[in-house]
Amino acid sequence: MKQVEKRDYLAKGMAFNDLVRIAVVDLTDAVDVMQQHHGSLPTASAAIGRLMVAAAVMTDIIKDEQRLTLTVKGGGKLGAIHAQADAYGNVRAYADHMHIDFPLTEKGKLAVGEAVGSSGTLSVEFDYNLDSPYSGTVELVSGEIAEDIAYYFAASQQIPTVFAAGVLIGEADRVYAAGGYLIQLMPGAGEDIIDKIEKRMQEVLPMTELLRQGRTPEEIMEYLLGDEGLRILDEKKEYRFFCNCSREALRAALLSLSPEDLGELVPDEETEICCSYCSTCYVFSRSEIMDLHQ
């Protein structure tokens, strides 16, 4: 699959005399393309989309050949959720069970926390293409994803963080809006700043509503912290849903299996092997697979 989108991007800024940094991302197209690839149902799309937003915002700090993988294992019916993003703005994601329909909550919202589950872990793995990738794992707080990401930064990185992520599902299960923002205190930021940000967070509109109003990431930054000495940085980063799988790559993965495993895998004349990250399927003939080991 090749998918090039142009609308999604992340914008960055500083506020409160550079004691606070903020990043806002619109990921609507990428999450919609994800939904189209997987045919995921709304609650799954919302959970996966929120994790994609987290991965996008967190890759803001990685460079070059690095890659970030977020994995949420909450014990809920969705199974594990995986989101990966690289320094070039490519994002891909899936959940183990994306085609389960969940009833809405009493308030009429998607029951993301329940579908994800809240007894488990969030793990964050930065792959620096070195022998020892950095990874950190924290217990889940709620399974709602956004809170869990904020908790990761507070507990694992000791950085006070506000993280918001929202996904709005529309007709035919399509994604109408997806995005989020990260606000972090820099060393030296005092309690007064924390209080101001917390107060502001209680009065702001949900992220999906801001996006539905047609606001850009810069305009959302203005809306959130415009009164607090906001300085928008001249650094934009584009994002897209992209999976680098290929027939050749899956064939190479098959090569690593033993002849016995291959034999069990291929009882039929033709076998379809699908990529988890984008649901693209590749057909291999029996003889082609058996030839791998000759």
**Cβ–Cβ under 8 Å, residues 261 and 292:** no
Which of helix, strand or coil describes residue 112? helix
Q: How far is the CB of 200 from Zn ion (least distance, A)?
A: 40
Do 92 and 36 contact (CB within 8 A), yes or no?
no
CB of 271 to Zn ion, least distance (A): 17
Angle of the 42-58 helix axis to the 28-38 helix axis, nearest 10: 130
Pairing of strands 175-185, 161-169: antiparallel
Query: What is residue 53's three-state secondary structure?
Result: helix
Q: Shortest distance, CB of residue 33 to Zn ion, whole angstroms?
A: 12
| Residues 6+ positions from 2 with CB-CB distance below 8 Å | 242
- Residues of this chain that interact with Zn ion (CB under 5 A) are 243, 245, 275, 277-278, 280
Minimal distance, residue 82 CB to Zn ion, in Å: 12
Q: Which residues contact 120 (CB under 8 A, 6 or more apart)?
A: 72, 73, 74, 75, 139, 140, 143
What values do phi and psi take at 279, rounded to 5?
60, 20
- Widest CA span in the chain: 70
Q: Residue 84 CB, nearest distance to Zn ion (Å)?
A: 11
Pick 245 or 273: Cβ nearer Zn ion: 245
> Alpha-carbon distance 75 to 94, whole Å?
16
Min. distance of Cβ 280 from Zn ion in angstroms?
Answer: 5
Beta carbon of residue 246, minimum distance to Zn ion (angstroms, whole number): 8
Q: Which is nearer to Zn ion, 215 or 240 (CB)?
A: 240
Assigned token pair, 194:
């924390």
Give residue 89's region: left, alpha or beta (phi > 0; psi -120 to 50): left
